[in-house]
Amino acid sequence: MSWTVGELARLAGVTVRTLHHYDRIGLVRPSERTSAGYRSYDAHDLDRLQQVLLYRELGFPLDEVATLLDDPEADPAAHLRRQHRLLRERLERTRAMVAAVEKEMEARQMGISLSPEERFEVFGDWLPEEYAAEAEERWGDSDAWAQSQRRTAAMTKEDWLRVKAEGDDVERRFAAALAAGAPADSNAAQDLAEEYRQQISRNFYDCSPEVHAGLGRMYVEDERFSAYYERIAPGLAQYVSTAVQANATRQS
């Protein structure tokens, strides 16, 4: 079985020009040429192109891809293993970025501001061994924390006031439920948590029960968020956290 440039390009989701380029630089060469000079790719070339595209997708420059693939030590299985590992690292990194965006959304809703270090954290070079040392340094330095200030929200004034009023309302009712002695995992508290979740979804972003549970954990684990709730009523951070997580379990 063999393919022309156009066929292979369609198959692989790249342009003909890209294949010309890869031929020119010797990265993926067609194993044959027809008498008219047409490129003719076979199954083996296809294999190679697939590998190239995967490494490219993972962010490798083409010359590095070439040295990787031309390494006689590395058999196909080794490449698959490496690609597997790199993809899982990317999965982790993306998950971290999703979490960071969610944290930012939540902070914005509450009018809390995150420290600059924290906000760029997820963009770092992401060399795992560096991470431990850097995190140490970052969290040890409490100046960064002191710097954190009120956020000037940039919504339309009226929108913001409406949204804030809605939020305040739920918070007040949480505080009332706590004062009335309703357990955090009671139906009443869980209903409030669900209302809270839907409010976030409506006003900010699509907040699944799982995501909401993550936020719930943060309310007690992150001191700025817990301080926010504790200022409303003592014990409220833990109360809301428990209610939110219980509701998440109930909803799924």
- Catalog residues that contact DNA under the rule CB under 7 A: 4-7, 15-18, 20-21, 25, 34-39, 56, 61-63
Dihedral-angle region of residue 59 (phi above 0 means left; psi in -120 to 50 means alpha; beta otherwise): left
**C-alpha distances in Å from residue 114, one per residue of 18, 25, 28, 110, 160:** 43, 47, 47, 11, 19
Residues 79-98 binding a copy of itself (CB under 8 A) are: 80-81, 83-85, 87-88, 90-91, 94-95, 97-98
CB of 205 to a copy of itself, least distance (A): 4
CB of 88 to a copy of itself, least distance (A): 6
For every residue of 50-108, DSSP letters joined together read HHHHHHHHTT--HHHHHHHHH-TT--HHHHHHHHHHHHHHHHHHHHHHHHHHHHHHHHH
Residue 233 lies near a copy of itself (rule: CB under 8 A): no
CA 12 distance to own-chain centroid: 27
Could you tell which of a copy of itself, DNA, none binds residue 234, using a CB distance below 5 to 8 A set by kind? Answer: none
The count of other CB atoms within 10 Å of the CB of residue 211 is 20
Could you tell which of DNA, a copy of itself, none binds residue 186, using a CB distance below 5 to 8 A set by kind? Answer: none
Nearest to 196 by CA among 230, 173, 177: 173
Residues 123-142 binding a copy of itself (CB under 8 A) are: 123-125
Q: Which residue, 208 or 249, has its beta carbon nearer to a copy of itself?
A: 208
Parallel, antiparallel, or unpaired for β 39-42 and 2-3? antiparallel
Could you tell which of DNA, a copy of itself, none binds residue 162, using a CB distance below 5 to 8 A set by kind? Answer: none
Assigned token pair, 215:
């936020």
Q: Which residue, 63 or 169, has its beta carbon nearer to DNA?
A: 63
CB of 33 to a copy of itself, least distance (A): 21
First to last CA, the chain: 49
Q: Which residue, 160 or 232, has its beta carbon nearer to a copy of itself?
A: 160
Each residue 20-59 as x (binds a copy of itself by CB under 8 A) or -, in order, gives: -----------------------x--x---x--xx--x--
Length of the chain: 252
Adjacent-strand bridge partners of 33: 39
CA 133 distance to own-chain centroid: 22
CB of 30 to DNA, least distance (A): 7
Could you tell which of a copy of itself, DNA, none binds residue 154, using a CB distance below 5 to 8 A set by kind? Answer: a copy of itself
Assigned token pair, 176:
């009332």
Positions touching a copy of itself (CB under 8 A) are 1, 11-14, 43, 46, 50, 53-54, 57, 75-77, 80-81, 83-85, 87-88, 90-91, 94-95, 97-98, 101-102, 104-105, 108, 116-117, 119-120, 123-125, 147, 149, 153-156, 159, 203-206
